[in-house]
Amino acid sequence: MEVLIGVDPHKATNAVAAIDEHGELVGQAAFPASRGGIRALERWAKRFAERRWAIEGAAGIGRPLAQKLAASGEEVVDVPPKLSAKVRVLSTGNAR
């Protein structure tokens, strides 16, 4: 079963959530935004044999993680921060 791992990168941490093909949350965690933290994140993700990564700001603050994953052969897509912000507004019911 394929899993999508969404990453919300910050200066100090990378918050991750994994959802399956049915939209069910199958895992979530947070890791330090350091080399060791990225290695721990990669180990955590290996539990999902088929996975894809969606990283917010993969060209910005998420770039080190996105580059490391792509270099390891992982499938990585960029989620523009403006799109993430729009989804947050729509999901709270504040958009008209």
Q: Which CATH code of 3.40.50.720, 3.40.47.10, 3.30.1360.120, 3.30.420.40 fits the domain covering 2-92?
A: 3.30.420.40
Backbone angles phi, psi at 69, to 5 degrees: -65, -45
Q: pLDDT per residue over 42-94, tens digit each?
A: 999 999 999 999 999 998 999 999 999 999 999 999 998 765 544 444 445 55
Give me the pLDDT at residue 87, please: 44
Domain chopping of the chain, boundaries? 2-92
Backbone angles phi, psi at 36, to 5 degrees: -65, -40
Give me the pLDDT at residue 94, please: 53
